[in-house]
Structure 1
Amino acid sequence: MSGETVILIAVNQQDIASTNQADALRAMDDWSELSPVEHHPAYALKHLRMLYLPNGLLFEDHLAKRWEEATGERVSEIIFPSRHVAASGQPSLTLHPIGVPHLPMGEQGPYGGHGGTAPPPSPRLASWWKMLLNLAKNEESVDGFDLSLEVTHHGPTVDVPTLFIEVGSTEETWGHLGAAQLLATIMRDGLLESSGSTWVEEKHAGEMVLVTLGGGHYAPRANQLAALDGVWLGHMLATYALPFEKTTEGEVGGNWKQSILAALKATRRSFPGGELVCSMDKKAFKGWQRQAIRDLLEAEGIPLLTTKQIKAKLGLD
Structure 2
Amino acid sequence: MVTLLVATTTDPASTNPANALLAMHGWTPGASLQGGIKSFANQQVRLLQQGKGIVEEDHLDVRWEEATGEEMDELIFFSKHTAVSNRPALTVHPIGVPHPRQGEVPPQGGKPGWAAPPNPRIGPWLRLLKKIAQSHNLVPEFEITLEGTHHGPETNQPAMFVEISLGLGGEPAVGNWRMSLKKKVLLGIGGGHYAPRHVDIVMEDPSQSKAEANTAVIGGTWKQAIEEAFKTTKSAFPGGNIMAHLDQKSFKSWQKNAITAFLADHNIKIGKPNDIL
Contact 1:123 1:161 (8 Å CA) reproduced? yes
Identify the match of residue 95 of structure 1 among 85, 92, 95: 92
Identify the match of residue 149 of structure 2 among 148, 152, 160: 152
Q: How far apart, in 2, do the equivalents of 1:249 and 1:7 lie?
A: 47
Contact 2:196 2:273 (8 Å CA) reproduced? no
Identify the match of residue 213 of structure 1 among 181, 189, 201: 189
CA deviation string 1:184-227 (max 9, x = no partner): 11xxx123xx3x2x25xxxx4xxx32111114312147xxxxxx
Offset of residue 307 of structure 1: 6.5
1:190 and 2:166 correspond: no
Q: Which residue of 1 aligns with 2:131?
A: 134
CA gap 1:107/1:76 in 2 versus in 1, 3 angstroms: farther
Identify the match of residue 70 of structure 1 among 67, 74, 90: 67
- Cα-Cα RMSD: 2.2
Contact 1:106 1:116 (8 Å CA) reproduced? no
CA gap 1:132/1:159 in 2 versus in 1, 3 angstroms: same
CA gap 1:29/1:142 in 2 versus in 1, 3 angstroms: farther
Q: How far apart, in 1, do the equivalents of 2:47 and 2:92 lie?
A: 19
Identify the match of residue 279 of structure 1 among 233, 245, 251: 245
TM normalised by structure 2 equals: 0.90
CA gap 1:159/1:256 in 2 versus in 1, 3 angstroms: same
CA gap 1:288/1:89 in 2 versus in 1, 3 angstroms: same
Q: How far apart, in 1, do the equivalents of 2:105 and 2:57 lie?
A: 12
Q: Which residue of 1 aligns with 2:10?
A: 14
1:244 and 2:203 correspond: yes
Identify the match of residue 110 of structure 2 among 109, 113, 120: 113
SS of structure 1 residue aligned to 2:40: strand
- Structure 1 residue runs of 5 or longer lacking an equivalent are 222-236
Offset of residue 13 of structure 1: 1.3
1:263 and 2:229 correspond: yes
SS of structure 2 residue aligned to 1:20: helix
Identify the match of residue 29 of structure 1 among 21, 25, 32: 25
CA deviation string 1:132-178 (max 9, x = no partner): 1112111146772211111111001100000000112xx5x1xx33x
Contact 2:97 2:110 (8 Å CA) reproduced? yes
- Structure 2 residue runs of 5 or longer lacking an equivalent are 210-216
CA gap 1:307/1:113 in 2 versus in 1, 3 angstroms: closer
CA gap 1:306/1:135 in 2 versus in 1, 3 angstroms: closer
Q: Which residue of 2 aligns with 1:227?
A: none
Amino acid across the alignment from 1:103: P
SS of structure 2 residue aligned to 1:58: helix
TM normalised by structure 1 equals: 0.79
Following superposition of structure 1 onto structure 2, how do residues 194-205 of structure 1 map, counting pairs within 5 Å?
Answer: 194=179, 196=180, 198-199=181-182, 204=183
Identify the match of residue 79 of structure 1 among 57, 76, 80: 76
Offset of residue 261 of structure 1: 0.6
Contact 1:37 1:51 (8 Å CA) reproduced? no
Q: How far apart, in 1, do the equivalents of 2:110 and 2:25 lie?
A: 33
Contact 1:80 1:163 (8 Å CA) reproduced? yes
Offset of residue 105 of structure 1: 3.1
Amino acid across the alignment from 2:193: H
CA gap 1:41/1:286 in 2 versus in 1, 3 angstroms: same
